Amino acid sequence: MSQTPLSGLASLQNGSDIRGIAMQTDQYEVTLTDERIEAIAYGLAVWLKEAKQLKVTDEKKPLKVAIGYDSRLSAKRIQTVLIKGLTNTGIDIVEVGLATTPAMFMSTQYEEYNCDAAIMITASHLPYEYNGLKFFTKDGGAEHEDIQFILEKADWENITWETDQGLVTSQPLLTAYAADLVAKIQKGINDPINYEKPLTGRHIIVDAGNGAGGFFATEVLKKLGADVTGSQFLDPDGHFPNHIPNPDNKEAMKSIQTAVLAHQADLGVIFDTDVDRSALVDNHGVTLNRNNLIAVISAILIKEQPGTTIVTNSTTSEHLKVFIESLGGKQSRYLTGYRNVINQALKLNQEGIPTSLAIETSGHAALKENYFLDDGAYLVAKILMTDAILQKEGKTIVSLIEELKQPVETDEVRFAILGEDVQQIGKETIAAFETFIRQTSDLAVDPDNLEGVRVNTSGKYGAGWLLLRMSLHEPLLVLNLESDQKGAIKQLRQDLKAFFTAQDKLDSSRL
């Protein structure tokens, strides 16, 4: 047992997750060490007892925590250390093996598991040397302040109760989670002729990117009758040898797009490593990610719940807002970060404003009907239910967004912040940028914005917008641009260059 305080734990916090370097490389030293992981286990035990008010000292009913992981190479090392630390505190462990982030939450909901908490070992789409931890209780995912509490209490000295050693059992989770999805899709489609296999005749390709999502092809779609021929990168491989498992990545989307066209499939589905994000491709290769994906699921939910509010992150298209409102829905454009949009959706519902979806352009989507859990597999399942109905009407899923106007140009520029006080430099640069915009013709600050500076373009730039904001996880400023006029973004970049090159604490070489 580690009995000495550890320094540097706070640096592992990544919003509402923990992330660090878990494998040494030529470039990086390990930051997610065994000692730190064990200490975090103690912090988690204290959090469950003190913050969540769970009885860790009940000998008749010990706390039960599920631990699962995606395909990352360092996962089993981390799991071993977590088990050591948690069982030292008297907590029982359920090893569930390969899992997804949303499935780990469901281990606290399924009766046959009935876990008090769950840990997912993942670092989403980051390179192979990274890993991290996500925590859940029956109430949902840990918040930013919860992670802070866990790290502050990460010391054996804070384990003040006497307990027996916790027990360890194994109980695979993905099988139960897949069966649950199958049942939900069957019920949602409710095919009177072929209830058990309502996707018979559909050809759907899955690209799991060698993460944890391969089960969706074999254990969900195939069992529903779909032809999954051409599915690729289903086997877990933490080296990620084929492409980054990220539905917000152009190379990854090109991979599934190419597969769908080559195999003449009806649909393509792609997941990130831990399957809390997803995207689709139609039979013509049209990508349904980012604004298109938000529009598709918004159209489905607004039809089911007229007038509902859709919470999104800040970098959504102005065309998306027009589209949602044209269907009778409302958009709440909020802050970047999946916990931010989920919490805003929860808040709006508490205020009596019906809100059915919290979603980001990155592919994180949390539906009210599904615990407001960001679940890439459930998002696809929900879309497949509607797709089956549309097929009977001679329509496709893309028909839902025929009225969504597409921008002529989009772009993104990332500026590395060079100083040590990243937040202060970012804040000062954004303030200076707003002043610059107010002094520049054909550019106007959008008052309906909560993150960074959003600017509407007109005149020589045509209709469009741009947004300068802080990166959520990296020491960067991010500039997103969108325009309905060809050549406008090139002109904008040129006209903005004078401002950005004058900022001596920014690397503006990518502009």
Give the number of C-alpha atoms closer than 13 A to the C-alpha of residue 196, restricted to the C-beta side. 1
Q: Which two tokens stand for residue 214?
A: 């391969």
Stretches where the chain sits below pLDDT 50 are 2-5
Please, what is the Cα angle at 174 between 171 and 175, to 5 degrees?
A: 80
Distances in whole angstroms, Cα of residue 120 to Cα of each of 68, 105, 142, 204, 396? 5, 9, 12, 28, 35
**Which three-class secondary structure state does DSSP give residue 67?**
strand
Distances in whole angstroms, Cα of residue 511 to Cα of each of 20, 111, 482, 508? 30, 54, 15, 6
Please spell the DSSP secondary structure of 283-349, one letter per residue. TT--EE-HHHHHHHHHHHHHHHSTT-EEEE-TT--HHHHHHHHHTT-EEEE--SSHHHHHHHHHHHH
Whether 57 and 89 have beta carbons less than 8 Å apart is answered as no
**Which three-class secondary structure state does DSSP give residue 431?**
helix
Residue type, 146: D
Q: Could you count the other beta carbons within 10 Å of the beta carbon of residue 122?
A: 31
Q: What is the pLDDT of residues 43-93, one digit of tens each?
A: 999 999 999 999 887 777 889 999 999 999 999 999 999 999 999 999 999
Residues 6+ apart with CB under 8 A from 220: 178, 181, 182, 185, 377, 381
Predicted local confidence at residue 66, as pLDDT: 98
Distance CA 278, CA 271 (A): 4
Distance CA 499, CA 103 (A): 47
Spatial CA neighbour of 102 closest among 454, 353, 362, 364: 364
Predicted local confidence at residue 1, as pLDDT: 54
Distance CA 456, CA 293 (A): 23
Quick one: which H or E segment has residue 104? helix 101-106
Q: What is the pLDDT of residues 393-419, one digit of tens each?
A: 999 999 999 999 999 999 999 999 998
Q: In what order do the strands lie in the sheet with 267-271?
A: 204-207, 267-271, 278-282, 287-288
Q: Which two tokens stand for residue 73?
A: 């190479």
- Over 332-367, what HEC string results? EECCCCHHHHHHHHHHHHHCCCCEEEEECCCCEEEE
Q: For the whole prediction, is pTM greater than 0.75?
A: yes
Distance CA 154, CA 38 (A): 8
Rg (CA), the chain: 23
Predicted local confidence at residue 55, as pLDDT: 85
Residue type, 108: T
The torsion angles phi and psi of 118, rounded to 5 degrees, stand at -145, 150
Q: Is the alpha carbon torsion for 230, 234, 239, 245 positive or negative?
A: positive
Predicted local confidence at residue 163, as pLDDT: 85
